[in-house]
Each structure stands twice: as structure tokens, then as C-alpha cells.
Structure 1
Amino acid sequence: MTTRRPHVYTRISKTTQTEGSGLDEQTARIEQYLKDKRHLFEGDVTYWQDIGLSAYGNKNIQDGQLAEFIKQVDEGRIGQGDALIIYSLDRLSRRSSWDETTIQHLVKKGVEIHDVSTPVVLNREDSMSKIIMELIVTRGNNESKIKSERSSAGWEKRLNDTLKDGRVFTNKLPRWLGSNDDQYVVLKDEAEIIKRIFREYTNGMSSPMIARRLNEEGIKSTGKSLWRPNTITKLIKDERLRGNLVREKITLIPNVFPKVIDDELFVLANRILSTNAVGKKGRPRENNKTREVNNIITGLVRCGKCGSKVTTTKNGRGMRYITCLNRLNYKICGQKSIRLEEVERIVIKHVKLVDMSKVLSISNVDTSSEAQLQAELIELKIEEQSCIVKIEERKILKQRTSLPLANALTDIQDRIEEVTNEILNLQVQEPLPDISSESISALLNASNVELRMSLRKYLVQVVDKLTFINIGDYNIIEVKYNNNVYCHAIITDKKLKVLHEVDITVSGDTTTYNSGEFSIVESENEGVCTFTGIDAVSSTNYFLLANYIGSLPEKQWIVDVMYLQQNINVVLQGHD
């Protein structure tokens, strides 16, 4: 009798099936089969396994280890002389009929397939294999379909009972819920911890910081487990906290669970989470040993000379500097490093003085879009009520519910949920932390972690970008604010002593450069600039402003106007 090299393949469609009737049962049955049929095989067993991949959508065939097995069959490395041992044929595919190409393909290539649950062996030399395979796969598919239909019917009944009477939908309860007499009970202590997490996260604290503080306070996660950052993140994303049941990872069914977190707070926290997930603006880190936050402008800063990202470096005395990465890594930028603490001091001092009405003057909310969504929502609710009335009328007449009518109602309700969430996203405004009463020294103190994180949140909300550039004996630190309507330029000496300040305001095609009593108004469309207060400006401030404007792209023409002899004469005569 010909022996074959054994390959064992096991698959489960859900990660929760690793025990019981899942992997354990498959593995045990296959191992016993190999033991009983040892005379059929020779050589070491090669194991293939897919976890969390469904055979219905061909995921295991396209992406899993079964895909690699098939690839090696196609390449001729596996074939005649090999045997694939599986628990049942539906581990390979759930499609019924002999047109099922995966199983047929493997058998045609010479692979012998052993179904240990039947048991049956499929071999290309056996003319009955086609019929046997079709019967087995069809049976498994029908059984699965019946189970699915029963499960769906039970699911719908439980959901209706929950929505109607508030009954417990599932015995698998989230950490913050218990049950009593088939009714949900909110666990007060757990709910307070979750509310604290949302409050601290939206106030600027990161997931690792929140987890560390909970652990330090002896507050356990579940059982005796410690809090982890990903636990915090999962909680923030958990739709059940605002009462929603998530079905098939897409559809939200509201009012299934008691609401613990308000919609506004939930949306705000997830908006911040999404922003952090894509790395926008970076994230400050807390030193594990000192419990300090040493850099709250990380991610906001760019090199003013080459536009590169920056990093922080230390000198021998432990003093931190902001350093251009192009200079550090590639030696292709001549920008000098600049002290981190002094940059923070300058930025904090000037940001505290900024009129936020200038920065926030342009609303991020598209009111026209909101109006359209509100109108659509009204129409959808009218359509929803019309469908419900028609369904109830059919019930009264003891007529079977129309499938198209039921599907239409589902589609309408799904869209209502989408529109409601879109409107909520437009309306939720992230509160701006109040740092006006805090001293600069307190804001600079790296040990004031919560205050520093609130400051960080403030900066992220109002500042678009910070740049620094060295020009001769001067440094220019530029703070560009969100909405591109306001900019602040601070000119310092080598030791970062502030010498001059410039405010730049943008309104349409007009840009205004303010320096004390002196201002330059540039009209981009007309290509002209006008001066105000030139007779009152000091020569030092005038020429420092010229140096700054000259560092801006395509603004040299303004400097040329500033250096016209008649303008120089006015400046110098005013300070004879």
C-alpha cells in the first residue's frame, strides 16, 4: 500500500473557538485518526492552521495558511504522494456542488484528502470521490444554513424584547453592567471609573498616562488585572457605552444598553482618538522614572530652513535642544539647534496673549451641510413612520410582513443613524482648556503632568505649526495658528532673548504685518503694500521686520519697498 506525507489543516472562523468544539476537538480527532491510520502515512506531520478566517468568503483560501498550501501545490512542491488530513470538508470550503474549485483542484493535483469526521478519502483515482464530496459539502452547508436561520430568529426575538421591555439582550455583559430580574443594572463604581477615563482623555491625558495612574492608585482593570493603554483605547471606542449594539461591525442599533457616556463626550473622545491614531501632531511622552513631561510641543515643530521634522537631543549637562533631523541624520541642513525650554517659554508667553477670536474666527462647522442633513433627517423619519404604519396594518389584517417593506424600513433606520451621527459630529465642539490664569513657570514645570497635558491640548487646538530658523545673529521663531488667519513671529538674539515681535493677520487677499505702532498692509491681488506709522517705528524694529519678511518665500519685493530711499529717510529722520 502506498504511503503518503501527512499535512494537517485546522480552521476556526472565530478566535473564541480555540477551545471546546473548535480547535481542541479538531486537533484531538485528527491526532487519533493519524494514530489509527499510521500505516497510511510516512514522515513528519506538517501543520497548517487558520484562526479567525471564514470559508464562506474564501478568506482562508485567499489570505490564510491554506492559501500558502494551495500555492505550494501549484508550484509542484506538494501534490502526488501528499495527503491533507482535515476534520471535515467544510474546513476547506463551504460552497456546495462539485463546481467547488478548491477541493477539486487539490485532488486533481494528486493530493489525497482525508475527512476524519465522515470518514472518507478523496482520491483522483476513485471515481466515487466527486459524488461523495458533493454530498458531504451540501450536507454541511444545509446544516449551517439551518443553524444560521435559527440563530437569526432567536437574535431578532431577543432584540425586540430588549427594545420593548429593557430585558437583558445577552448574558455576556460588559464590565460596567450587571443584571437583576432580566434587567440591566449599571455598576456605579465601574461607570465612575469609565467616566473618569473619558474626562481625563478629553482633557489631554494619553492612554498610557491614564492606565499608569489607575494602576498606581490600586484600581484594578478586571479581576486582578492591571490597566493597559489598549484597554483604555478599547473602552473609548466601545459603542455600548452610549447604548448602541454594533452588528456586523457596521450597523449601530441604539437603545440596547443603558447609556453611561453622553453622545457628545463619546464623539469628542473618539475624534481625539482618531487624530492621535494617524499621528497628527505627535504625542508627548511621560518619563517612566521621573513622571515628567519634558516636551509638549512635539509634533508641532518643523525646521524653518529645510522644513524637516525635528527631534530633541541633550548636551553633556542634560540640557534639551530641538534639532533638525536632516542636520542630525544626513548633515544636509545647516540649521543650528535651539534650546527646547526657551522655545517653550517664548511660545507659551505669546500664545497666552493671543486674541483667540482671531484664531477661531473661521468656524469649522459647515452650517449648510448641517441644514441639509437636518432636512434629510426629517424626511427619513416621515418615511420610517410610513413604513411602520404599513407593517402594522398588515399585522392587523393578519397578512405576512412584506420582505421589501421590512428591508426598506431597515435601510431607512440605518440611514437615520448615519445622519444623526453626522449631525452630532458637526455640532460637537471641543472645549478649549483655560490656561490664562496659570503662570508661565507652572506651565513650564515638567512635573505638572496634568497641567502640561492641558497646555498640550490647548496648543494642538490653536497652533498649526512652529518653525525656527537662524539668520545671522538672530533666531526667528514663528507660530502659525489654525485656520491660516494669524501668525506670530518672534525675533531673538543668539541667547533667545526676545528683541522684536511681529503679528501677521490674513483676511482674504490682504496680509497685515504689525510691529508695534508700525504696520505693512499687503494686497496680493494688486501687488502693492502700504505703510502706517513709519515715522514712529524705531530703526532697529524696522530693519528686524525687514529681515523677517525677507525670510518669507516670494516676499522679497516687500523688503525692496522697505529699502527705498524715501522710506529709509523717514525711519532715520524720525530718530535723529
Structure 2
Amino acid sequence: MAIAYSYIRFSSAEQNKGDSLRRQIELSENYAAQHGLTIDTKFSFKDLGLSAYDKSNITKGALGEFLKLVESGRIKVGSYLLVESLDRLSRAQVLDALVVFIGILTAGITIVTLSDGQVYSRETTNDNWSNLIISIAIMSRATEESAVKSKRIRASWDQKRTNIDNKRLTARCPYWMRPKAGNIGFELIPEHVETVKLIFQMAKDGLGNGTIVKRLNSEKVKNFSNKTDGWHESYIQKLFTNTAIYGEFQMNTQRDGSIAAFGDPIKDYFPAVMTKEEWMYVNSLRKERQTKGGASKGKTLSNLFSGLLVCGYCGGRMNMGAHTKRKRDGTTHSEKFVGCSTGRRGRGCYYIIWNYKDIEQQILKFCKSVDFADILNNKGSAATLLETVQLELIKVQSAIAENKPKLAALVGLLESGQVDGLSSIIGRVAELEKTQIILLDRQASLEHEISIQIEEQSGNLLQKQAMNELLNKLEDLEAEELRDLRIKIAQRIKRAIHQVALYPGGNLYTRFQRDDLTKKMMDEGFAESRLHEYFDHYDKNNSRENRFMTILFKNMEVTTISKDGVRENRQLVTEEEYLNKLRPE
């Protein structure tokens, strides 16, 4: 008996509630029974809720898997593919659909359309090419139907947009609000809004998605849908990216199997929970934590300076480790330390460890004397910088606005078909679209930058008094409260400090620096024995007792701290001068 494979597809989840699935299964079983075929049960080829118009069923669905199995030979020549109709396979453009159709036939697979009993195989199509014409006509009709449906949906949305002041586009809305009575507007649900604000505040304090979820679930905060399975990280992530938080509504459509924005966003469509600047600021903090390193999942946040510590000798990462020490009473305890990852791997630097607790104490002691707001909020330079960024944003927005009608006019010409120099117009459209994408990316970047500067100038995170209050509490808290406090401190430190370069052996030359200096001095006539004497004397006078660190702030000020305290007060440096500081004096 020949093996038959049933392929079932429908494009919307709603059809799953109806009769579509049962009907297609029944048709396959009846045909197989009547024609002596055995339906394979090893593989299941069902695309439930996937479109064939945008080829989702091929690019990420079961039909794509079927084609791969045919190509690999796991589905044998002479097998049958049973489908309700050809439009179940593809509703893409005719040539694209035909490639799939012919590819299956040339691989030796017979296609049967159950609705009309048509059988398509390599042999029957070669013998009677009219079958191919019929199949092309069917596929063409399916494409046209999908295109018309797509245009109707778009036209419907366009019509709704024109009536937006008189009627809601849709009753669907985020969980923290509900539709007002009638057809206009939405209203916030107070208890849900408080939860949204709590989540954003936790993110502002430095907590990651996982920690936020644990906190919400442990404190039994109800989720918006009142489901009993609590909160999930995936929803928290979606919440942070949802522009409805500040009142914006973005319509979406499916394109090539993915969700894509459709049309321009509609401002002030929903009631806002916070301003756009506040939303952008929290997201900029989250983005920065991803680059610099966020809070660890430990109980106390073991490293306040994750992503900040570098080796002063080579510029490499300083990694944290731990070793166990035995006390006089026989008990043991673990001590954390940091060391150069380059030196640890024997790649031309020193592996001299530095007790992490000592590093933390020195930096935090120094932080108590620093007015972080003064560092970041130099009023004159900050205001000038903000004004510069705002002016650039205006220019970018103006360029975007100028491009829109140009692009629309060119697209209109192409759609009319009544145009000379088609290739040059297509090239110009592509060029404008590329420019528009670059401008929109720059606009988003500038808006983020502005929101950060506005928030920082308010000083609500970085005032010296607020920082000192946090530091003074460190000795009094335990467990979860201590971890939360350390996360807040780490957050504030990373807003002000760009990098901390550690010199755990004092002033030392790296191997490469020694080699360079040796070559240079020998070229100048120094004897090799004198060079050895120089390096021996140099190393003896530089040891762990002379270790120090340099702190580079975001405003390019540098402070050097030794074991005895501040060795060099804050001074403004250029990037080149700072890089020179990452070398022994």
C-alpha cells in the first residue's frame, strides 16, 4: 500500500472553533480508505492558524517541514499528499505557489485535492498539461481572494482611523484599562495602574524581569487577567515595550509571517499611565543594564560593579572568583576576589588577585564624599548638551516629514503603471525608504537620549544625600532587603561611573610593555644587564602594598584612589589622556 500524508491548514484561530479541522481530517480518511492508501501517523502536518498568503506555512510551518522531509528522502517517492484544495498549500503569488506545487510533483509525490477529487502527479501532468493550466487558475484565484481580503481589511482600518474622534477603532485594549460606555474612549483601572507603576518602579530600582516576577508572585500581587498561575517573565517583557503605557496605539499586520507595524502610531489614543519620557527613561536603564551587566541572581548581589571593573595594566576584564579559608576555630568561610582574565589565561598580563570586599569598601567610602548630581548635572554643560540634542531631533523629524510625501508620490506613480523610467523610480523609492529607516532609528535614539538627560537633570536618582542614605543603611539590613538596597546602589553607581581600572600590583609593566621598552632602550644603547637591574628594582618598589584604582566618571572626570584614600582628586581628561592612564606611570 502507498503511504499518504494528510496536510491540514487554516489561517485563523477562530476556524479551529468551527468545523474546518474535523472536515479536513474526515476527507483525508475517507479518500485513503476508498483508494487503498495508508495514512501515515508518524508525522503530523497541521498548520492551524498559519497563513499561506504570506508563506508562513512554508517558512515556519508544517508544510515547510514536509518539503524538507521530501528533499531528504525520508518521505519516499510514490507517496501521496492529501489536501482539501490547492489553496491550502499556497495563496502566495502564482509563480511562488507554482514553484512549491511543481517541486512536490517532480520529487515523485502525488498531490490529491479532496474537494474535487483531482489527482496531480508528474506523469499525469506530463501526459495532460491541461491539468497544470487548471492548477495555475486555481492558485491565481486563491491569490486574488487573499489580496482582496487584505485590501478590504486595510481599507476598513483606514476608515476607522478617519473616524477616530467619534468612535473607537476597536474595543480591545491593554489589561490595565477598559472601554468606556458607548463607543468612545477608554478608562484606567486604578488597581491595575498601581501594579504597572510598581513594576516600572522596580525596573527603575535596578530589578530584572526574573526578580520582578518573583517579587510579584511572592507578594501575591494579582495579575491583570486574574489567572491563578501568577506572573510570567514574558508578560513583564511585553509590558516594558508596550507604547500604550504612555497612550500610543500602533496598529499591526502580518508580513512574511511576522507581526509588523501598519501605518503611523496614533498618539494619545489610550489614557496614559506615565509620560513618554518616563517610559523611555526606564527602558534606557534596562538597556544599559543589559550592556553593563545586570543584577546577579544571588541572594545579596555579590558584585556591585559588574561590567565596570577592568585591568589597569591591559584593559581586560576583571573576573570574580572565590577561595575558601579556614578560621582558627576550624570553621571555613568563602572570600571573593577579582583578577585579570587575560593574566589568568597567561596572555601577557599579571594575575594578581584583589580581595573584593576591600575594593567595595574603598569605592563606597569614596562615593560618600561624591555629589553624583554635581558630576552628571553640570547645569551649564548639561543644558547646552540637551539643547543640542533637541535641535538635532527637530532636524531629523523635519527630514522624516519631508520624505513622506516624496515617497508616497513615487509609490503612487508605480501603482498607476503609467510612468517612464521605471527602474530609476524603483531605485529612488528604495533609496528614500533606506534613508527613512536611518532617520527613524536616529529619531528613536535621540528621544532616548533626551529622556535620560531630562531625568538626570532632575537629580531624583543621583543626589549626594540620597546616595548617602542608601550607603548608611547597608549595615542594618539582611537578606532580601539588603539585596534590594545593593541593587539600588549598583544602579546609581552605574549611572555615574563609566569604568573602574584596578592596579592590584601597584605600578607594573605588562609583558608586552616590557618587551616594547626593552627593545626601545636596547636600540638606544642600554645593556641588557642594566635593563634587568632596572626591572628588578622597579618590581621591588611596586607591590600589593601600593595597589590603587582609577575611577572614570561618565563626564570624563578621573579620580585615583589608593589604599590610604584619594591619591589624586577629580580632574577632567580627554579620552586619549584616560587611555594613557591605563598604563603604568
TM-score by length of 2: 0.70
Give per-residue Cα distances to partners, 1:270-316, cap 9 Å, x unaligned: 2223334xx311111354xxx53333222222344551341342525
Of the three residues 366, 370, 382, the one matched with 2:390 is: 370
Shift of the 295–118 alpha-carbon distance from structure 1 to 2, 3 Å rule, reads farther
Runs (5+) with no aligned partner, structure 1: 386-403, 493-497, 513-521, 525-548, 557-576
**Which residue of 1 is the match for residue 277 of structure 2?**
264
Matched, 1:30 2:31: no
Q: How does 1:383-398 map to 2 (within 5 A)?
A: none
Shift of the 89–384 alpha-carbon distance from structure 1 to 2, 3 Å rule, reads closer
Question: Cα offset for 1:462?
Answer: 1.2
Tell me whether 52-61 or 262-271 shows the greater mean CA deviation: 52-61
Shift of the 246–314 alpha-carbon distance from structure 1 to 2, 3 Å rule, reads farther
Matched, 1:8 2:6: yes
Q: How does 1:80-479 map to 2 (within 5 A)?
A: 80-97=77-94, 100-126=98-124, 127=128, 128-161=130-163, 163-165=164-166, 167-179=167-179, 180-183=181-184, 184-221=186-223, 222-223=225-226, 224-248=228-252, 249-250=260-261, 251-276=264-289, 279-287=290-298, 292-305=300-313, 307-313=316-322, 315-316=324-325, 317-324=332-339, 326=341, 330=345, 334-354=350-370, 356=372, 357-358=374-375, 363=382, 365=385, 367-368=387-388, 370-375=390-395, 377=397, 424-428=447-451, 429=453, 430-431=455-456, 432-434=461-463, 435-438=466-469, 440-443=471-474, 447-471=481-505, 472-474=543-545, 476-479=547-550
Distance between the aligned counterparts of 1:360 and 1:490, measured in 2?
23
Question: Cα offset for 1:382?
Answer: 9.6
Maintained 8 Å contact 1:359/1:485: no
Higher relative contact order structure (alpha carbons within 8 Å, sequence separation ≥ 6): 2
**Which residue of 1 is the match for residue 524 of structure 2?**
none
Question: Cα offset for 1:211?
Answer: 2.4
Runs (5+) with no aligned partner, structure 2: 253-259, 326-331, 406-418, 420-428, 506-542
Hey, which of these two has a bigger chunk of helix by percent? 2
Question: Cα offset for 1:130?
Answer: 1.0
Question: Cα offset for 1:135?
Answer: 3.0
Maintained 8 Å contact 1:98/1:133: no
Maintained 8 Å contact 1:377/1:420: yes
Distance between the aligned counterparts of 1:259 and 1:189, measured in 2?
15
Maintained 8 Å contact 1:56/1:94: yes
Question: Cα offset for 1:461?
Answer: 0.9
Distance between the aligned counterparts of 1:448 and 1:122, measured in 2?
71
Q: How does 1:440-519 map to 2 (within 5 A)?
A: 440-443=471-474, 447-471=481-505, 472-474=543-545, 476-483=547-554, 485-492=556-563, 498=564, 501-503=567-569, 505-508=571-574
Give per-residue Cα distances to partners, 1:217-267, cap 9 Å, x unaligned: 221112134122332221111112222222333342323322222111111
Give per-residue Cα distances to partners, 1:509-533, cap 9 Å, x unaligned: 9969xxxxxxxxx9x9xxxxxxxxx
Distance between the aligned counterparts of 2:319 and 2:561, measured in 1?
19
Distance between the aligned counterparts of 2:437 and 2:546, measured in 1?
56
Q: Which amino acid aligns with 1:210?
A: I
Distance between the aligned counterparts of 1:292 and 1:299, measured in 2?
17
Question: Cα offset for 1:32?
Answer: 4.7
Shift of the 426–301 alpha-carbon distance from structure 1 to 2, 3 Å rule, reads closer
Q: Which amino acid aligns with 1:91?
A: R
RMSD: 4.2
Maintained 8 Å contact 2:82/2:112: yes
Question: Cα offset for 1:383?
Answer: 10
Q: Which amino acid aligns with 2:447?
A: L
Shift of the 422–308 alpha-carbon distance from structure 1 to 2, 3 Å rule, reads closer
SS in 2 for 1:84: strand
Shift of the 323–9 alpha-carbon distance from structure 1 to 2, 3 Å rule, reads farther
Question: Cα offset for 1:193?
Answer: 1.3
Distance between the aligned counterparts of 1:433 and 1:486, measured in 2?
16
Q: Which amino acid aligns with 2:355?
A: R
SS in 2 for 1:37: helix
Shift of the 6–510 alpha-carbon distance from structure 1 to 2, 3 Å rule, reads closer
Shift of the 207–71 alpha-carbon distance from structure 1 to 2, 3 Å rule, reads closer
SS in 2 for 1:214: helix
Distance between the aligned counterparts of 1:240 and 1:441, measured in 2?
39
SS in 2 for 1:280: helix
Distance between the aligned counterparts of 1:210 and 1:233, measured in 2?
11
Shift of the 366–97 alpha-carbon distance from structure 1 to 2, 3 Å rule, reads same
Maintained 8 Å contact 1:48/1:66: yes
Shift of the 462–105 alpha-carbon distance from structure 1 to 2, 3 Å rule, reads same
Q: Which amino acid aligns with 1:37?
A: A
**Which residue of 1 is the match for residue 410 of structure 2?**
none
Give per-residue Cα distances to partners, 1:176-231, cap 9 Å, x unaligned: 11122223221111112112222232232322333222223221112134122332
Distance between the aligned counterparts of 2:573 and 2:340, measured in 1?
34
Distance between the aligned counterparts of 1:328 and 1:51, measured in 2?
55
Tell me whether 182-191 or 442-451 shows the greater mean CA deviation: 442-451
Maintained 8 Å contact 2:354/2:504: no
Q: Which amino acid aligns with 1:301?
A: L
Q: State, as a whole percentage, how many aligned pairs show the same letter.
A: 22
**Which residue of 1 is the match for residue 538 of structure 2?**
none
Shift of the 203–500 alpha-carbon distance from structure 1 to 2, 3 Å rule, reads closer
Distance between the aligned counterparts of 1:293 and 1:260, measured in 2?
31
Shift of the 281–212 alpha-carbon distance from structure 1 to 2, 3 Å rule, reads same
Q: Which amino acid aligns with 2:448?
A: N
